[in-house]
Chain A
Amino acid sequence: AQSVTQPDARVTVSEGASLQLRCKYSYFGTPYLFWYVQYPRQGLQLLLKYYPGDPVVQGVNGFEAEFSKSNSSFHLRKASVHWSDWAVYFCAGNMGYKLTFGTGTSLLVDP
């Protein structure tokens, strides 16, 4: 069955520190992959998406993600976290029209 796994329910980082949020996928083939962010009482907003090609994808607000076929992973990174990055981050895969989401990672930022 198709699935996306985010093994970390919660991650806490200090403001200015680097960040990595983990995502693993399980699909028959290589899906299109996405990272969405959800701020409190808001809908989901797209951070970035993966196209087959360059394994490193640049997104908004300094986020990037690296795709690895050998590891079935699509980890999200940011070099320097800002307090405004405090939110829930969802990894998602899509082979046709239906997004399959991970369970989300809550990012807490220590001032």
Chain B
Amino acid sequence: NAGVIQTPRHKVTGKGQEATLWCEPISGHSAVFWYRQTIVQGLEFLTYFRNQAPIDDSGMPKERFSAQMPNQSHSTLKIQSTQPQDSAVYLCASSLVTRGDTEVFFGKGTRLTVV
């Protein structure tokens, strides 16, 4: 079990460019989450998929952020027209089932730097 795999680990983009972040959840896990971590805001929920279906994207900035899960083995987070304030560590996570007491497993994150 390699855990949740995120690629790339580091990404530098120029302001206005597009960034795509990849996540491979743990095999067999039905729930996939994206969180964002910054010094100022801490850990923030972005979006959640259950059995590949988008369930809650309430944490996503509406205009430039989108997330997809085209199959059970990977999810992507796409940021269009990146801005310096998008610089953060983006964490993908997965859990076996969706229940409040279920352990959520986190990847090591992708550090996005917008210059």
Contacts and interface: CB of A to CB of B under 8 A. Distances in A.
Contacts, number: 53
B100 interface: yes
Interface residues of A, number: 23
A46 B98 CA distance: 17
Contacts of A103: 42
Q: Is the interface of B mostly helix, strand, loop or mixed?
A: strand
B91 interface: yes
B101 to A, nearest CB: 4
Interface of B: 3-4, 31, 33, 35, 42-43, 45, 48, 50, 55-56, 91, 93, 98-101, 103-109
13 contacts: A31-B100, A42-B108, A43-B106, A43-B107, A94-B100, A94-B101, A96-B100, A97-B33, A97-B48, A97-B56, A97-B100, A99-B35, A99-B104
